Structure 1
Amino acid sequence: MPPRRYQFGRADEATHPDSMRATLAEFLSTIIFVFAGEGSILALDKMYKDTSATPARLVMIALAHGLSLFAAVASSVNVSGGHVNPAVTFGALLGGRISLVRALYYWIAQLLGSIVACLLLRLTAGMRPGGFALASGVGELRGLILEIVLTYGLVYTVYATGIDPKRGSVGTIAPLAIGLIVSANILVGGPFDGAAMNPARAFGPALVGWRWNHHWIYWVGPLIGGGLAALMYEYMVIPAAEPAHPTHQPLAPEDY
């Protein structure tokens, strides 16, 4: 586990092969996640004329997001750390686990990955992405607070299972834990605001489908929630001094 540090980035980091591989991994894993997540919604709209929210529909969407995120994180965790989410990257940046240069690369890759996934859905399914919006009767403040709380839980789970130097063997189930918390949070927040917890997940459908209602909530909420979770875990849970004889395997240098 690299020590906590805040830095802009090494002089050669912008063109280093490790940075390029990590950025590509974030781009491809985001495509996997958004294509399956948004695609599950379009598939249900294709299968059923009635697109109103039902328990079965909510469970299927939550399951699709959880499984696809599990696969996306697992397939990129050894290369980029498996962020697949600008809010996770922001939390890692605030926690001193990633440089600013690497964070900027990740953000660009995640947003582009989401856009490409939605363009592929538009091409293959021939349907306009639905995007995220507040449900009827849900005000902007409540939607914002909900996104903060949901994303806090997600990033806290990422820290506990993927970043904490004391995580030990728990690190092997990090992708599964992350997928499960996303599914659980969708079951909670889906009927209210869609439960994005991920600015990139919201941005691709909004751009390709051109649906911008309340879009700012899906940026501000996740970034605040992710930042709070990272700072609290870094400075209140992780010890100031690393253990003298750690019993776990450290992350690779490019991870977080």
Structure 2
Amino acid sequence: MARGKKFFQTTDNMTTKERIVLCVSEIGGTATLVFLGCMGCVSGIYGEKGKIPHEQISWTFGLAVMVAVQIFGHISGSHINPIVTVAAATLGNIPLIQVPIFFVGQFLGALLGFGLLKAVTPSQLLGNVYTNGPNGTLTKTLGVCSPAVNPLITPTQGFLVEFLITLILALVCCGVWDPKNSDKHDSVSIRFGFTIAVLAMAGGPYTGANMNPVRSFAPALFNGDWENHWVYWLGPLSAAFVGALFYRLVFMKERPPSEETLPEGVPLSQKA
């Protein structure tokens, strides 16, 4: 680490207008992700409802990330996920003062994205359905895109799955941002899209492989599905911090002061 450099940046030199642009970019990127990704989970829009292939859902979310990064990556870095913001702050790529701006944009974007999906989709294809259960009781089915741990595993195992797959995602981010990788930033949006797709294919049967607290929060809020919701916050956020901290301490070679740039002006596809 360069002598005299703080482990965490705290302030920046952005103007109020630049902060607003940063927030709006995250709103747009996260809304794009949630709208397209959750739209790919809607069954029955073409007729009879049925189970959507897991691979289709995984690719839809992966390609939605690709689209969001392609559109907004040069503006805010297109974090579109609090775990990316946590990893960036832990790595020292963004100052702590920017973290709430990213978070607000991501929350609003997720709510906007899922709200738009509800606006264009028949309610019977999105909302919870109550069916007759044992002894005449009503059983509520899970709403579209709501997070849920596979009943064959425990919530603790679900937490570990979300932690581990998010840890891999955080390490991918760190690898992209590493100064040693600065000459390999072509097609970053495609790389992130494929990363999300493969992690979703692997972890989806266990927990849905959300890896994104705001992507979990918006459907849960609209659908009222909160069971084991802590898994989708604690797992990803702790993995982001642990992964980025590990990468920074073990693999990262800090730049000399003369080579450092203001990170808030550098997009996701170019950050070191």
The normalised TM-score by structure 2 is 0.82
User: Paired residue for 1:152?
Assistant: 167
- Kindly tell me: are residues 242 and 175 of structure 1, through their superposed partners in 2, closer, same or farther at Cα, counting changes over 3 Å? farther
Contact 1:32 1:117 in 2 (8 A): yes
The residue type paired with residue 108 of structure 2 is: L
Shift of 1:174: 2.1
User: Paired residue for 1:34?
Assistant: 34
Q: 2:62 aligns with which of 66, 71, 75?
A: 66
User: Paired residue for 2:72?
Assistant: 76
| C-alpha distance in structure 2 between counterparts of 1:17 and 1:244, whole Å | 28
User: Paired residue for 1:17?
Assistant: 17
Shift of 1:46: 3.4
- Kindly tell me: are residues 61 and 122 of structure 1, through their superposed partners in 2, closer, same or farther at Cα, counting changes over 3 Å? same
| Structure 2 counterpart SS, 1:49 | coil
The normalised TM-score by structure 1 is 0.87
The number of residues matched between the two structures is 244
Query: Greater Rg, structure 1 or structure 2?
Result: 2
The residue type paired with residue 153 of structure 1 is: I
| C-alpha distance in structure 1 between counterparts of 2:221 and 2:158, whole Å | 20
Q: Quick one: percent identity of the two aligned structures?
A: 26
Q: Does 1:142 align with 2:157?
A: yes
User: Paired residue for 1:120?
Assistant: 116
Shift of 1:6: 1.8
| Structure 2 counterpart SS, 1:211 | coil
Shift of 1:101: 2.0
User: Paired residue for 2:86?
Assistant: 90
Query: Which sections of structure 1, spanning at least 5 residues, go unmatched?
Result: none
Contact 1:4 1:95 in 2 (8 A): no
Shift of 1:252: 6.4
User: Paired residue for 1:196?
Assistant: 210
Q: Which segment is superposed worse, 68-77 or 189-198?
A: 68-77
| C-alpha distance in structure 2 between counterparts of 1:103 and 1:175, whole Å | 22
- Kindly tell me: are residues 6 and 245 of structure 1, through their superposed partners in 2, closer, same or farther at Cα, counting changes over 3 Å? closer
| C-alpha distance in structure 1 between counterparts of 2:188 and 2:120, whole Å | 32
- Kindly tell me: are residues 98 and 244 of structure 1, through their superposed partners in 2, closer, same or farther at Cα, counting changes over 3 Å? closer
Contact 1:40 1:61 in 2 (8 A): yes
Shift of 1:7: 3.2
| C-alpha distance in structure 2 between counterparts of 1:154 and 1:231, whole Å | 14
Contact 1:70 1:175 in 2 (8 A): yes
The residue type paired with residue 123 of structure 1 is: A
Which one has a larger percent helix, Structure 1 or Structure 2? 1
Shift of 1:216: 0.9
The residue type paired with residue 46 of structure 1 is: I
| C-alpha distance in structure 2 between counterparts of 1:238 and 1:194, whole Å | 31
Contact 1:133 1:214 in 2 (8 A): yes
The residue type paired with residue 130 of structure 1 is: C
After superposition, the C-alpha distances for 1:153-208 in whole angstroms (9 at most, x for unaligned) are: 111111212x1111133222222111111100111111111000000110111111
Shift of 1:85: 0.4
CA RMSD of aligned residues (A): 2.4
After superposition, the C-alpha distances for 1:100-151 in whole angstroms (9 at most, x for unaligned) are: 2211010111011001111111111032343110112111111000001111
Query: Which sections of structure 2, spanning at least 5 residues, go unmatched?
Result: 128-143
Q: Does 1:226 align with 2:222?
A: no
Contact 1:34 1:118 in 2 (8 A): yes
| Structure 2 counterpart SS, 1:46 | coil
The residue type paired with residue 194 of structure 1 is: G
After superposition, the C-alpha distances for 1:198-242 in whole angstroms (9 at most, x for unaligned) are: 001101111111111111110100001111111111121111344
Q: Which segment is superposed worse, 17-26 or 110-119?
A: 17-26
User: Paired residue for 2:9?
Assistant: 7
